[in-house]
Structure 1
Amino acid sequence: MARAPSSAARFEALYRDSYQDLLGYALRRVDRPDSAADVVADTFLVAWRRIDEIPPDRARPWLFGVARNVMANRQRSERRRADLAERLRQELSRATVVPPDVPAGLGAAFATLPEADRELLRLVAWEGLGADDLAVALGCSVNAARIRLHRARKRLAEALAQVSTTTPLRSFDA
């Protein structure tokens, strides 16, 4: 009595026998080769998960049906993403941004800092993040966030001192 092939052996045979056909199918229906590769990968992921449900005598057409559904899901997802992006663009086109009121010396000193320091200081000053939240935003420990913030503040203080020694103070005697 012949033993049924294992799920892994059945999947390998299915992959070997159908990969090129599915790739060609996807390439003829999507706009980019990497999208076609994603369709094929997602199709075989479904096949692996449902290997026992695939009809042995109709595996190839079953895979084409899965690929067709994968592409339809991707198209719906892209359409939703594009609609959302358009709604956001329209909403943002009506938004007004009020720049923060920053004294000239502070702005000049701030501009001399590296971008990483400026972003860190903006997250704290403008967005109101504390050390715990800053750590989450930076993807580091709270201690590391505190150290980075301390160093950025120190560099800002040094830059402020430099700006104040090179920029003449205004007189209010007039």
Structure 2
Amino acid sequence: MIDDSEFVALFREHHNAVLRFIERRVSDREAAADLTMDCFEIAWRKRDPRDPFGLPWLYRTARNLIANEYRRRDREGALWAHIEDHVRILSSESSPALVETLVDAMKSLPERDREVLWLTYWEELPASEIAVVLGMSEGAVWTRLNRVRARLRPLLTAATDARTEEVADDRR
């Protein structure tokens, strides 16, 4: 194992270069910063004084992380398309604007909050099973679910009000 000071030197020397490398390939600055830190976390775990690595190794690791990010985005895009289709089927009498509002509201939530909603409403799991999946207490599941619902309620109420006005305008 290399000592901490050698890793700190590696980090200081190459952090900006790796970050710029990733930023040029990933459009989201926050994601690029996260991927950069992931790259150095991997470097920390794999460090070996007999086989030191430098910038080329970090770039190769960053490329792998970027490829994973692209795959994750593709999967997430497919998931959102599936969710939109599912919501449209469930709310066939709703306007496209209302469906779009629901999907946009869901997208605005942090992933951990969306996960609670998906497990509750799409997978139809009880809170006790969601607690096992997410590694938290049942009480924490209920707390998170109630907070997410409270955040969604005003967004959906506003969309419903807009839909009511739209229908009223159409009847005039």
Q: What is the DSSP-based 3-state SS (H/G/I as helix, E as strand, rest coil) of the residue aligned with 1:52?
A: coil
User: Is residue 24 from structure 1 mapped to residue 20 from structure 2 by the alignment?
Assistant: yes
User: Is residue 44 from structure 1 mapped to residue 40 from structure 2 by the alignment?
Assistant: yes
Instruction: Find the aligned partners of 1:74 and 1:10 in 2 and give their Cα distance.
Output: 29
Q: Where does structure 2 lack aligned partners over 5 or more consecutive residues?
A: 94-123, 128-136, 145-172
Q: What is the DSSP-based 3-state SS (H/G/I as helix, E as strand, rest coil) of the residue aligned with 2:48?
A: helix
Provide the aligned C-alpha RMSD in A.
3.2
Per-residue CA deviations over 1:124-172 (Å, capped at 9, x if unaligned) read xxx9x89xx98454339xxxxxxxxxxxxxxxxxxxxxxxxxxxxxxxx
In percent, how many aligned pairs have the same letter? 29
Deviation at 1:53, TM superposition (A): 7.8
Q: Which residue is 2:90 aligned to?
A: 95
Letter in 1 for 2:72: S
Per-residue CA deviations over 1:36-91 (Å, capped at 9, x if unaligned) read 111111100100111128842x4210000000101110110111011011011112
Letter in 2 for 1:45: E
Is residue 18–residue 60 contact of structure 1 (8 Å, CA) maintained in 2? yes
- Dislocated runs of 4+, deviation >4 Å: none
Deviation at 1:7, TM superposition (A): 2.8
Q: Which residue is 2:67 aligned to?
A: 72
Alignment of 1:1-174 (within 5 A): 6-52=2-48, 55-56=51-52, 58-96=53-91, 135-139=139-143
Q: What is the DSSP-based 3-state SS (H/G/I as helix, E as strand, rest coil) of the residue aligned with 2:43?
A: helix
Deviation at 1:35, TM superposition (A): 1.7
Deviation at 1:97, TM superposition (A): 8.3
Deviation at 1:10, TM superposition (A): 2.0
Deviation at 1:17, TM superposition (A): 1.1
TM-score by length of 1: 0.51
Instruction: Find the aligned partners of 1:8 and 1:137 in 2 and give their Cα distance.
Output: 39
TM-score by length of 2: 0.51
